[in-house]
């Protein structure tokens, strides 16, 4: 009883305090589906790659299998393997236990969402959760903080021709009991099926214009989460190729589902709610099976009121603030939302935000978005006095104060992008630009003496692992002072594109009193205007 009460409390009180760049990014990828292009690949649920619904395959099924195969290398005995993104390596993809191109397809999409805050393994976990939740499944608790492996794991994914004892041993190594094995296979195999190309001995050519890759599906609703995998199995009508395949050696689902005398499968067939809750728990455990030493975050729940993309930039003697505010779980975009803020000179200020849209795209829950812009939006920013700047935001929603229980929403205006940045070359392949950065001027006001200011490029090394490449911006020899508050530091960067479609973007970073800060901006090189005197 006590334990239940405690759990109930946890579920309602563990929202984190904004800003927390890693949690902000994970929360956004988990909940703001309309912000991330991968989510459109699940609409509709039978979509495969970006444009096909007639292949017999689906992104949703690929992404779920991808997560299981990433995890299935886990070894309970020494804590090695597990969800660590190692399925992205060609070495793992080329093993017989990982037959098919589903892993390559999945990595291509979900890799795009990874960065310094979101590991590839976290992106894989979120992809699987989104596939399940969007396509009829239960809510799944998500924790972040998976760490990407630098090398392939030892093999360990079960294969259909192995016998029951091997499968029981394999799931035990992964941390699951024989009953949990039955459940987890039944939960995974509500999606997708077996394809002919990687499994020609299991699947014949089906000659169906709506199933061009010849996939025999595990149940009749193979892009929808439901207990049909169990009802069809128990009623004896199943077409599951791993149950009724002509070669009994590869009928692994038949051996697994029947291994407890059908007790588990019958309970799932009789009770769709039990099936869904069991799957929600086991999927979460599967995704949270990580190498020893990896510390996952608390379960990430959506912030009720969340600033997003908050960014300062300096335009001469105007300090511009751009950003958005998300109000979770509402369809009402007509509230009066004010940004109230404290500044560096003791002022109390407010600005009424522009109602942008109500987004019904979130997995289940609608959200209303308000833009840091006037109504009607004559600009896409709030103009500030650079001397006063801004230290803490609060919001008032129809007069109700939202300030994270009194702490407010802290912002950092000490080192900002300057809009005097410009391209020094008009070439489309040999890109060159001058980036101007404006540290708050310590000669005017006490405060800021950055030891370093630099551009940050969020990228991947050859492994591939996420890395941030820093390009130092030297202090100016002759201070350029656009206004009384800031001075300008600048650096010229030059990049030769190997792929003309690559987009080069930088964040602004600085080290102040030994602490690194970043604006998390995405200052795109080709979006900069040409410098004076440069012709296109
Ligand atoms: C003994 C354990 C298991 C065996 C032998 C097994 C075997 C297979 C095989 C042979 C395929 C066909 C793959 C293809 O043609 O691309 C498949 C597909 C799939 N498996 Fe499993 N599986 C097992 C457990 C699991 C588990 C635990 C999950 C997830 C929780 C899972 C999720 C999936 C999904 C979603 C697909 C469909 C992929 C698609 O249609 O693209 N499997 N499985
Ligand atoms: C393919 O699916 C469409 C839409 O569900 C259906 O109208 C058509 O008859 C199907 N074609 C074949 C060959 O099964
Ligand atoms: C059945 O599958 C096993 C394992 O893939 C294979 O060795 C065997 O030759 C197959 N039997 C037939 C009759 O195809
Ligand atoms: C489990 O159910 C299936 C389908 O009804 C049946 O064919 C099989 O014999 C059952 N197995 C056991 C061990 O009861
Ligand atoms: C959304 O808000 C309603 C009340 O307005 C509440 O009943 C519901 O539980 C909330 N849903 C979520 C997912 O927070
Ligand atoms: C939305 O909120 C506004 C402001 O509180 C209120 O006047 C309006 O009635 C609400 N609309 C709906 C549909 O609840
Ligand atoms: C907003 O600021 C104006 C002055 O600019 C002030 O009159 C008004 O009371 C303020 N509103 C709130 C909610 O603080
Ligand atoms: C880009 O290519 C040009 C011409 O080949 C070369 O002069 C320049 O050094 C290269 N720049 C970089 C950053 O590699």
Mean pLDDT value of segment 422-434: 92
Mean pLDDT value of segment 150-176: 98
Regarding the beta carbon of 330 and ligand 5, being less than 6 Å apart is answered no
Provide, rounded to the nearest whole percent, the portion of the chain with pLDDT above 90: 88
For the chain, give every domain's residue range.
Answer: 21-287, 302-410, 415-527
Closest residue by Cα to residue 111 from 376, 463, 484, 510? 463
pLDDT tens digits for 435-487? 999 999 865 555 688 999 999 999 999 999 999 999 999 999 988 888 989 99
Kindly give the distance from the C-alpha atom of residue 502 to the centroid of ligand 6, in angstroms, as a whole number. Answer: 44
Kindly give the distance from the C-alpha atom of residue 250 to the centroid of ligand 8, in angstroms, as a whole number. Answer: 56
Distance of alpha carbon 278 from alpha carbon 126, whole angstroms: 19
Mean pLDDT value of segment 332-350: 96
Instruction: Fold for 21-287, please state it.
Output: Peroxidase; domain 1 (1.10.520)
Regarding the beta carbon of 398 and ligand 3, being less than 6 Å apart is answered no
* Residue 12 pLDDT > 50: no
Contact 341, 404 (CB under 8 A): no
Kindly give the distance from the C-alpha atom of residue 58 to the centroid of ligand 1, in angstroms, as a whole number. Answer: 13
Return the DSSP state at 160: T
Residue of 331, 335, 358, 399 to test ligand 6 pocket, by largest number of atoms within 8 Å of CB: 335
Kindly give the distance from the C-alpha atom of residue 211 to the centroid of ligand 2, in angstroms, as a whole number. Answer: 10
Element (H, E) at 290: none
pLDDT value, residue 442: 63
Mean pLDDT value of segment 13-42: 91
The answer to which of 38-52, 323-337, 444-458 has the lowest mean pLDDT is 444-458
**Is beta strand 409-410 parallel, antiparallel or unpaired with respect to 392-397?**
antiparallel
CATH of domain 415-527: 2.60.40
pLDDT value, residue 445: 57
pLDDT tens digits for 82-103? 999 999 999 999 999 999 999 9
Q: CB under 6 Å to ligand 1: residues?
A: 57, 61-62, 64-65, 68, 100, 102, 158-160, 167, 184-185, 187-189, 191-195, 198-199, 252, 286
Mean pLDDT value of segment 279-300: 98
Q: CB under 6 Å to ligand 2: residues?
A: 208-210
Distance of alpha carbon 331 from alpha carbon 357, whole angstroms: 9
**Mean pLDDT across the chain:** 94
Mean pLDDT value of segment 257-265: 98
Same fold, 302-410 and 415-527: yes
Phi, psi dihedral angles at 321 (to 5 degrees): -115, 120
* Residue 133 pLDDT > 70: yes
Regarding the beta carbon of 338 and ligand 7, being less than 6 Å apart is answered yes
Element (H, E) at 508: strand 505-512
pLDDT value, residue 224: 98
pLDDT value, residue 328: 95
Regarding the beta carbon of 57 and ligand 7, being less than 6 Å apart is answered no
CATH code matching the domain that covers 302-410, chosen among 2.60.40, 1.10.1060, 2.20.28, 1.20.1630: 2.60.40
Regarding the beta carbon of 161 and ligand 3, being less than 6 Å apart is answered yes
Confidence tier at 9 by pLDDT (50, 70, 90): very low
Confidence tier at 6 by pLDDT (50, 70, 90): very low
Specify the ligand 1 atom closest to the Cα of 203: 15
Kindly give the distance from the C-alpha atom of residue 259 to the centroid of ligand 4, in angstroms, as a whole number. Answer: 9
Kindly give the distance from the C-alpha atom of residue 155 to the centroid of ligand 1, in angstroms, as a whole number. Answer: 16
Residue entry with tokens 């050696």: 249
How many CB atoms are located within 10 Å of the residue 147 CB?
Answer: 19
pLDDT value, residue 362: 64
pLDDT value, residue 449: 85
Return the DSSP state at 153: P
Residue identifier of the C-alpha nearest atom 3 of ligand 7: 350
Residues 44/46/48/50 CA torsion (nearest 10 deg): -10
Distance of alpha carbon 478 from alpha carbon 394, whole angstroms: 38
Kindly give the distance from the C-alpha atom of residue 329 to the centroid of ligand 5, in angstroms, as a whole number. Answer: 6
Q: Which long-range contacts (CB under 8 A, 24 or more apart) does 53-57 make?
A: 54/209, 54/210, 54/211, 54/212, 55/211, 55/212, 55/213, 55/215, 56/193, 56/195, 56/206, 56/208, 56/210, 56/211, 56/212, 56/213, 56/214, 56/215, 56/217, 57/102, 57/192, 57/195, 57/213, 57/215
């Amino acid at each position: 009883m006590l334990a239940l009460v405690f759990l109930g409390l946890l579920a309602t009180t563990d929202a984190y305090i904004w800003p927390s760049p890693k949690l902000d990014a994970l929360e956004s990828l988990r909940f703001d589906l309309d912000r991330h292009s991968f989510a459109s690949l699940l609409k509709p649920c039978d979509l495969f790659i970006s444009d096909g619904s007639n292949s017999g395959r689906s992104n949703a099924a690929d992404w779920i299998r991808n997560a299981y195969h990433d995890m299935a290398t886990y070894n309970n005995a020494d804590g090695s393997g597990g969800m660590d993104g190692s399925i992205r390596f060609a070495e793992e993809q080329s093993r017989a236990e990982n037959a098919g191109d589903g892993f390559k397809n999945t990595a291509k999409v979900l890799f795009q969402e990874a960065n310094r805050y979101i590991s590839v393994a976290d992106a894989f976990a979120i992809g699987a959760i989104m596939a399940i939740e969007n396509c009829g499944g239960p809510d799944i608790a998500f924790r972040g903080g998976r760490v990407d492996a630098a090398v392939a794991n030892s093999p360990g994914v079960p294969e259909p021709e192995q016998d029951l004892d091997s499968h029981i041993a394999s799931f035990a190594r992964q941390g699951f009991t024989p009953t949990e094995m039955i459940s987890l296979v039944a939960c995974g195999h509500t999606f997708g099926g077996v394809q002919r190309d990687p499994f020609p001995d299991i699947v014949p050519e089906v000659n169906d214009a709506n199933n061009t890759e010849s996939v025999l599906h595990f149940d009749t609703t193979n892009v929808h989460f439901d207990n049909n995998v169990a009802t069809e199995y128990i009623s004896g009508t199943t077409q599951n190729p791993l149950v009724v395949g002509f070669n009994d050696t590869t009928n692994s689902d038949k051996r697994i589902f029947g291994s407890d005398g059908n007790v588990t499968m019958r309970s799932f067939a009789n009770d769709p709610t039990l099936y869904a809750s069991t799957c929600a728990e086991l999927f979460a455990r599967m995704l949270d099976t990580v190498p020893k030493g990896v510390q996952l975050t608390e379960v990430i729940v959506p912030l009720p009121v969340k600033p997003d993309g908050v960014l300062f930039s300096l335009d001469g003697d105007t300090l511009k603030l751009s950003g958005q505010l998300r109000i979770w779980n509402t369809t009402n975009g007509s509230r009066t939302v004010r940004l109230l803020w404290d500044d560096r000179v003791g002022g109390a200020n407010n600005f009424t935000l522009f109602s942008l849209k109500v987004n019904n795209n979130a997995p289940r829950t609608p959200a209303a978005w308000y833009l840091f812009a006037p109504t009607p939006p004559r600009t896409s920013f709030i103009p500030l006095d650079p001397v006063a700047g801004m230290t803490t935001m609060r919001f008032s929603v129809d007069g109700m104060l939202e300030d994270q229980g009194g702490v407010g929403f802290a912002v950092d205006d000490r080192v900002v992008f300057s809009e005097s940045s410009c391209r020094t070359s008009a070439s489309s392949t040999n890109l060159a630009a001058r980036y101007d950065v404006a540290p708050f001027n310590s000669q005017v006001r006490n405060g800021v003496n950055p030891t370093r200011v630099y551009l940050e490029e969020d990228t991947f090394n050859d492994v591939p692992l996420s890395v941030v490449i820093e390009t130092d911006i030297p202090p100016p020899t002759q201070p350029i002072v656009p206004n009384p508050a800031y001075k300008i530091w600048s650096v010229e960067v030059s990049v030769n594109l190997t792929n003309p479609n690559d987009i080069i973007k930088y964040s602004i970073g600085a080290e102040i009193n030994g602490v690194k800060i970043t604006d998390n901006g995405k200052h795109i090189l080709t979006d900069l205007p040409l410098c004076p005197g440069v012709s296109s």
